[in-house]
Amino acid sequence: MVAVAGIASVTVATAVAATKDKTFSAGTFELGFGGSESVSKSFKVKTKGKIQDVDVQVALQNQQNSDYVLLLQHPSGETIHLSSGNGGSGNGFGSGQGCGSTVTFDDEATADIEDTEGVNTLLFGEYQPEQVNENVNEPGMDELEGKKLNGKWTLIATNTEPTGVAQLECFKLETTYKTPKK
């Protein structure tokens, strides 16, 4: 406080929210499953903030990509459709063991996962999730913007065919978020 000619001056500090980038991971794991089965892998994010952007990294080794449905569940229970029946007869989303090479679902990617329906090779790189281009009443990844970051995140993988086996190996979230005002 500074007094000038009998008038008091006060400086008020304003609260500012910071924007941060952080990757959260379930780590490298091996979660096997067979025909007509679903598996899920979850982890809890303790960091508080409001989502500005979120991308999902997945590694899934399988016998035929088009047999799989991949969903992301936000801590609120809202489910985002990442991929269903894409990738042709290719044998994996990502390559190798664990998180070394993954498929990243990013609503701002230039490639569309649905364009891989007839592709018969291993998938890797960045793709828009299927929901970005669907005209259905389901939320897309962009609808997570402004929602809370903290809580339990879950990746759900389903084999839609009665044969075949798969192994889910990696699940990560790459986030940009605003911290709470201090």
Q: What is the pLDDT of residues 53-100, one digit of tens each?
A: 999 999 999 989 999 999 999 999 999 999 998 998 888 999 767 888
> How many residues are there in the chain?
182
* Average pLDDT estimate for 138-166: 91
Q: What pTM was estimated for this model as a whole?
A: 0.87
Of 18-22, 163-167, 169-173, where does mean pLDDT reach its minimum?
A: 163-167
Cα–Cα distance measured from residue 162 to residue 160, given in angstroms and rounded to the nearest whole number: 7
Ordered by start, the domain boundaries in the chain are 16-178
CB 50 within 8 A of CB 177: yes
Q: What is the CATH number of domain 16-178?
A: 2.60.120.260
Number of H helices, E strands in the chain: 0, 13
Long-range residue pairs from 106-114, CB within 8 A, at least 24 positions apart, any chain:
106/55, 106/141, 107/55, 107/132, 107/140, 107/141, 107/142, 108/53, 113/82, 113/83, 113/86, 113/87, 114/86
For the chain, the helix, strand and coil percentages under 3-state DSSP, each to the nearest 5? 10, 45, 45
Tracing tokens 């259905």 back to the chain, one arrives at: 136
Give residue 2's pLDDT: 47
Q: Which residues contact 15 (CB under 8 A, 6 or more apart)?
A: 181, 182
Strands 125-127 and 103-105: parallel
